[in-house]
Chains A and B, each alone.
Chain A
Amino acid sequence: ETGVTQTPRHLVMGMTNKKSLKCEQHLGHNAMYWYKQSAKKPLELMFVYSLEERVENNSVPSRFSPECPNSSHLFLHLHTLQPEDSALYLCASSQWEGTEAFFGQGTRLTVV
Chain B
Amino acid sequence: AQSVTQLDSHVSVSEGTPVLLRCNYSSSYSPSLFWYVQHPNKGLQLLLKYTSAATLVKGINGFEAEFKKSETSFHLTKPSAHMSDAAEYFCVVTPGGAGGFKTIFGAGTRLFVKA
Contacts and interface: CB of A to CB of B under 8 A. Distances in A.
B1 interface: no
A42 B43 contact: no
A55 B7 CA distance: 31
A98 B105 CA distance: 12
A58 B106 CA distance: 17
A106 B49 CA distance: 22
Interface in A26-71: 31, 33, 42-43, 45, 48, 50, 55-56, 58
B31 to A, nearest CB: 10
B44 A97 contact: no
A32 B101 CA distance: 11
B44 A48 contact: no
A95 to B, nearest CB: 10
Interface stretch (B15-23, B62-70, B78-86, B92-100): B92-100
Q: Is the interface of A mostly helix, strand, loop or mixed?
A: strand
A35 B93 CA distance: 16
B41 interface: yes
B49 A100 contact: yes
24 contacts: A42-B105, A42-B107, A43-B90, A45-B103, A48-B99, A48-B100, A48-B101, A50-B99, A56-B99, A56-B101, A97-B100, A98-B94, A98-B98, A98-B99, A98-B103, A99-B32, A100-B34, A100-B46, A101-B44, A101-B100, A101-B103, A103-B36, A103-B43, A103-B44
Interface of B: 32, 34, 36, 41-46, 49, 90, 94, 98-103, 105-108
